């Protein structure tokens, strides 16, 4: 059974690399039961979206 430390590590790693099927399955099972880790995963997703949205585009560099 995955613990919260392992789950948050995988949630972070999932932002940088594809997880294996066994990692995805274990993580999904854990986050179904753990509100804290589920919320952490949602926050990681939001941070990634916000950081992508705040990147300057080529059009911004021309100005």
Taking only the tens of pLDDT, the chain with its 63 residues reads 899 999 999 999 998 999 999 999 999 999 999 999 999 999 999 998 888 888 776 665 555
Measured between alpha carbons, how far is 56 from 12 in angstroms, rounded to an integer? 24
Can you give the pTM of this predicted structure? 0.77
pLDDT at 52: 83
pLDDT at 62: 53
Query: Which of 11, 51, 5, 45 minimizes the C-alpha distance to 28?
Result: 11
């Amino acid at each position: 059974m995955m613990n919260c430390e392992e789950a948050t590590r995988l949630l972070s790693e999932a932002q940088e690399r594809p997880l294996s099927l066994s990692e995805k399955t274990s993580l999904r099972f854990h986050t179904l039961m753990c509100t804290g880790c589920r919320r952490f995963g949602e926050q990681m997703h939001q941070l990634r979206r916000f950081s992508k949205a705040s990147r300057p585009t080529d059009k911004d560099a021309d100005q």
